[in-house]
Amino acid sequence: MDWRIAFGLVITTAWITAGLFYLLGIVGWTNFLYLPTADIGSFLEGAFAPLAFFWLVIGHFMQQKEIAANTRAISIQEQSARRLEVHSQRDSYFKLHELVQDQLGSIAGFHYMSVCGPTGTGAITAEEFSSTRNQAAGSDPAIFIRKMIALTVSQRENPEELHETLFGTAIRQRHSDNFARTFEKLFGSAQAVDTDEMIADALLNASAAGIFYRIIQHVSGEKEIDQLMGFPLQSDLSSEELKKMD
C-alpha cells in the first residue's frame, strides 16, 4: 500500500473518532437527533469537508507521481525509438556505402586506364586492365583507387606531372570531378548518420576513397592536405598556373 493512502486512512480514522467523541460526549446523541435538518447538514458538511479536501490533496500528489512515471516511461520509449532510428539509418548508410564504393572504384579504374593504359603511358595493357577489373568486381573494389593513390604519391615531387595525371585531359578532369562529387555525397550521408563523427572521420581520413579525394582536392587547390603522404602543405602551383594547365 502506498504510504500516502496509509497516512490518509490514519488521519481519517482519527478525524472520525474525534468527531464521534465530540458528537456523543459533548453534543449528545439525543440532542443531535432533535436538531433541525439544516443544522444536521451543516454539521456533517463541516465534519467531512476537511476530509474530502485532504483526500483530494492526496489524490493530486498520487496523480503527479503517476504522471511523472508515465513521463519517464515515454522518455525511455522515445530514446529507444531514437536509437533504433539511428541504427536503421546507419544500416542504410553501410548498404549505400557498398554500392558507392563500387562506383568510386569504377571511376578510379577508368581514370587509371586513361593515365596508364594504351592512350596514356602504356604501363598497363587492356588485358591487364580487364584482369584487374575482374578482381575489383569480385572482392576488392578499391584496388584502382589504391593504384591511383600510389601513382599520385609517386609524382608528389613533380606538381606538373601530378596535375597532368588528375586534370591533364578532359576525360581525366571528368573522372576527377565525378570521383570528388560522388565521394562528397557519400561523405554527406555519413555525416547525417554519425552522432560522434567516427564514421565520417574514418571515411575521410582512413579509407582509400577518402585519401584519394583529399589528393584531388589538394592538387586542384581547393583544400590543403597534411604531410602524412609526403605532399607539401600547399601545392607548388599557383592558381594562375593551374588555370593555364586546364
Report residue 91's pLDDT band, with 50, 70 and 90 as the boundaries: confident
Neighbours of 81 (CB within 10 A): 10
- The whole-number pLDDT of residue 229 equals 53
Report the distance separating Cα 213 and Cα 101, nearest Å: 13
Query: Residues 93-122: what's their mean pLDDT?
Result: 92
What tens digit of pLDDT does each residue of 21-72 get?
777 777 677 776 677 877 777 877 777 888 888 888 888 888 887 888 888 8
- The whole-number pLDDT of residue 230 equals 53
Q: What is the mean pLDDT of the chain?
A: 83
Quick check: 226 and 156 in contact, CB under 8 A?
Answer: no
Report the distance separating Cα 202 and Cα 102, nearest Å: 18
Give the highest mean pLDDT range of 60-64, 98-102, 219-223: 98-102
Quick check: 114 and 169 in contact, CB under 8 A?
Answer: yes
- The whole-number pLDDT of residue 20 equals 80
- State the virtual CA torsion across 98, 103, 105, 107 in degrees, nearest 10: -170
What is the reported pTM?
0.62
Report residue 227's pLDDT band, with 50, 70 and 90 as the boundaries: low
- State the virtual CA torsion across 182, 228, 149, 152 in degrees, nearest 10: 110
Report the distance separating Cα 231 and Cα 157, nearest Å: 8
Write out the chain in H/E/C secondary structure: CCHHHHHHHHHHHHHHHHHHHHHHHHHCHHHHHCCCHHHHHHHHHHHHHHHHHHHHHHHHHHHHHHHHHHHHHHHHHHHHHHHHHHHHHHHHHHHHHHHHHHHHHHHHHHHHHHHHCCCCCCCCCHHHHHHHHHHHHHCCCCHHHHHHHHHHHHCCCCHHHHHHHHHCCHHHHHHHHHHHHHHHHHHHHHHHHCCCCHHHHHHHHCCHHHHHHHHHHHHHCCCCCCCCCCCCCCCCCCHHHHHHHC
> Is the pLDDT score of 238 beyond 60?
no
Which among 207, 197, 192 is positioned nearest to 92, based on CA atoms?
Answer: 192
Give the highest mean pLDDT range of 46-55, 85-94, 206-215: 206-215
